[in-house]
Chains A and B, each alone.
Chain A
Amino acid sequence: MKKSVILGALTVAACAAGAAGAATLDDVKARGKLNCGTNTGLVGFAAPDANGDWQGFDVAVCRAVAAAVLGDSSAVEFVPTTGKTRFTALASGEIDMLVRNTTWTFSRDVDLKFTFVGVNYYDGQGFMVPKALGVSSAKELDGATVCIQTGTTTELNLADFFRVNNITYEPVPIETNEQAQQQYLAGACDVYTTDASGLAATRATFEDPTAHVVLPEIISKEPLGPLVRHGDDEWADIVRWTLNALIAAEEYGVTSANIDELAAAPTTNPEINRLLGTEGGLGEMLGLPADWAVKAIKAGGNYGELFEKYIGQNTPIGLARGLNAQWTDGGLMYAPPFR
């Protein structure tokens, strides 16, 4: 029944085998599309809207890279991946880059042979409890029942935290976030623990969010960022510096509103000039047009604008900048100099 498809696939396979080994940048340019691995669905970070367009904080990084490389923020083929398929998809070349809430860890970087190019969101594991429980610190949770996703690092972090503080807990294993929401609301567990961004998103869906509090303790480090395959440093540089451009743009006050004006002619700030390509030849060094960063920033805005649009205080998720504020505001977002 699908003979023609078999045939098409074989033909494509034969052609593609010849082109194997070329640089990722050339592949992307030849294809005219960036294959970007994202989540099959994570609130605020990646989700299709009613028109079928992917939206979200992770998705925005894909779009920025596509804009920088191809000049078109819509030239992205989004490949939804699950926790089990994401690394294979990247390793096998099915996707050019992966932006899927992936924690930067030693073994993923070294053993799985990926290159993490930076961090677009500093997350950490937190706790949510009903206000009626009257708990104000995670250290008061002795003997609590805890809803926890099995087989994740959150499970190990939880065990560590309770052991270090010499208190006991009873785990209620659950599979997915939605299941956890149902269990937690039904009172099957006193505490729900997962990444703080996930807790905030979950809490926002409750009928009465004010009846639940997220405790102040963050018990793990989860730096989430985009990653690419080992071995193609030119491509890694492009993704890394596109992310840095978004972060630097916020620091220098370059927004999607004033970027046209700033990029039209050299300004008095040489750093902005180099970033926007009106001075120096940074784009050329990357193998991209001089206005690569302008296009990347115009795709959705600078880092701060993206944050506010998808996960910030004015969205239902309502995350505060916290660690993700600029270093000038006491956060960890720190782009190396554009020079």
Chain B
Amino acid sequence: MSGTHAHSAAFVRDRMIPQEPPPDRSIGALGWLRQNLFSSWLNAALTLVSLALIGALLAAVLPWVVHSSWTANSLSECREQIKAAYGPEESGACWAVIRERWSQLIFGFYPSEIYWRPILAFGTALGGLAPVLFPGVPRRALYLTAAAPFLVPWLLWGGTVWLPVAVAFGFVLGYAGFRVVAPWAGGILGAIAAGLVPVLWWLLLAGKAAGGLQEILPLGIEPVSSRNFGGFMLSITIGLTAITLSLPIGILLALGRQSRMFIVKVICVGVIEFVRGVPLITLLFVAWLLLNYFMPPNTNFDIILRVIIMVTLFASAYVAEVIRGGLAALPRGQYEAADALGLDYWKAQRLIVMPQALKISIPGIVSTFIGVFKDTTLVSIIGLLDPVGFSNSIRADVNWNGIVWELYGFIALMFFIFCFSMSRYSMYLERRLRTGHR
């Protein structure tokens, strides 16, 4: 048999050839280029056109960015310096305005000798968020998370240390109220006591208690009025507060919307639909104009606080709808499984429903957060000096009148850094939570 076969075939391999490395043109940089950019004639042509476009764009922008002045003290001086250095026909960026005014774009009118306070405050806020955001952080950092809501406003606005202490004491009172009332009056009355006692404390006694303690033992830092807030500090204060508060409020609203209790459901639907049906700018005008008219004359209801409340409401309504999408995406069986296990409503939500619903909603929630952070620039319309508002004020300086692109470029860069980090974090979170339903 083998003999006849050997005659009929011209060649028979009788040993394995050794493994060869893949050909040069399919590995390394060359292989990547072939695969991704030049895989066919059409793709090759599109690649070349795109490269030409990018090249043309850079050729137009880069000389402007590089042929710049960092040291001038006015726009006209910038122009003179650029002409002297690069030739009479050149025009370039006047980055000197950023050198002179970067601190205002970031801190507004905050007194420069205490810039460490907002920096420390936002550091504290990030430190407080870290154990919530990343699993690797030691659990002990949760103490910082609990302290941050009191520390951060105190660092930003200053004043007596006893006020945040008195406010924090309200939560202790609430807990105590629950422990005292619940054993003999039941959970619901306990919950009401837990809510009512601290509110009464804050409204009636906390201010006096803080004032009294301040007289006995004066401890405090220099107070800074809200009018001195500005620039990115203002955006971050509003954005960070709105973001951290809107997630829990949004979850509650989303659950309320699905509730079987009629009143709860109607209230939640009403809030969500009303707030979503109104543009943010309208809410901001309400915060500025209407509240001014409704409140007694000379009332000093902090404008930043008013704006924070409105932005938080706005963000919460959107987050609620995103989370409702996550809830709707869960199979009915998950709810039924929770019921079958005998879990009560809150346990079922906490252990089974929310972890899955939130995971599904992450991209939507983060987009909402990024949107809210960028929307904080709308406050310039009601006269608060956020980065965009401040760029207008800087342009009103005789020395810098007429500067446009440099300021907007700087602001865009800063916003990009913040929003891009949020976006990267959301991708990291999605990867970490991917438990493999694929």
Contact = CB atoms under 8 A, between A and B. Distances in A.
Interface of A: 1-13, 16-17, 19-21, 27, 39-50, 52, 55-56, 77-82, 84-85, 88-89, 91-94, 176, 178, 181-182, 201-202, 204-207, 315-317
B305 A9 contact: yes
Given A16-B300, A47-B396, 6 more contacts: A3-B149, A20-B296, A40-B392, A48-B104, A81-B383, A92-B293
A315 B395 contact: no
Contact of A88 (B293, B302, B305, B385): B293
A50 B101 contact: yes
B220 to A, nearest CB: 12
Interface of B: 75-76, 79, 91, 100-101, 104, 108-109, 112, 148-150, 152-154, 157, 159, 163-164, 166-167, 170, 202-203, 206-207, 225, 227, 241, 244-245, 285, 288-289, 292-293, 295-302, 304-305, 308, 380-383, 385, 389, 392-399, 401-402, 404
Q: Which 3 interchain pairs have the tightest Cβ spacing? A: A205-B402, A41-B396, A47-B396
Nearest to B101: A50
Contacts of B150: 3-4
Nearest to A46: B396
Which of B150, B302, B380 is the most central at the interface, judged by chain A CB atoms within 10 Å of its CB?
Answer: B302
Contacts of A7: 163, 166-167, 202, 206-207
A201 B299 contact: no
A163 B385 CA distance: 40
Contacts of B285: 84
A52 B111 CA distance: 9
A256 to B, nearest CB: 21
Contacts of B241: 1-2
Contacts of A82: 381-383
| Chief secondary structure at chain A's binding surface | mixed
A94 B245 CA distance: 28
A338 B336 CA distance: 88
A184 to B, nearest CB: 12
Nearest to B292: A92
Contacts of A78: 227
B299 A2 contact: no
A3 B152 CA distance: 11
Contacts of B207: 7-8, 10-11
A44 B296 CA distance: 36
B104 A3 contact: no
Contact of A316 (B244, B302, B398): B398
A123 to B, nearest CB: 16
B297 A20 contact: yes
Contacts of B293: 88, 91-92
Contacts, number: 171
A196 to B, nearest CB: 16
A89 B298 CA distance: 11
Contact of B393 (A41, A92, A181): A41
Contacts of B380: 40
A94 B292 contact: yes
B299 A17 contact: yes
A48 B288 CA distance: 23
A150 to B, nearest CB: 15
B109 A52 contact: yes
A1 to B, nearest CB: 4
Given A40-B392, A44-B398, A178-B404, A1 B152 contact: yes
A17 B296 contact: yes
B153 A201 contact: no
A12 B153 CA distance: 17
A315 to B, nearest CB: 6
8 contacts: A3-B170, A9-B301, A13-B296, A16-B300, A45-B396, A79-B383, A93-B297, A205-B402
Nearest to A49: B397
A316 B292 CA distance: 39
A229 to B, nearest CB: 10
B299 A16 contact: yes
B393 A48 contact: yes
Contacts of A48: 104, 109, 393-394, 397
Given A48-B109, A182-B404, A13 B300 contact: yes
Contacts of A182: 404
Contacts of B152: 1
Contact of A5 (B157, B206, B394, B397): B157
Given A39-B396, A80-B383, A9 B292 contact: no
A2 B382 contact: no
Given A43-B396, A88-B288, A3 B202 contact: yes
A242 to B, nearest CB: 23
Contact of A13 (B292, B295, B392, B401): B295
A41 to B, nearest CB: 3
B381 A201 contact: no
Contacts of B167: 3-4, 7
Contacts of B75: 205
B66 to A, nearest CB: 19
Contacts of B383: 40, 79-82, 85, 89
A317 B404 CA distance: 18
Nearest to A53: B109
Nearest to A15: B300
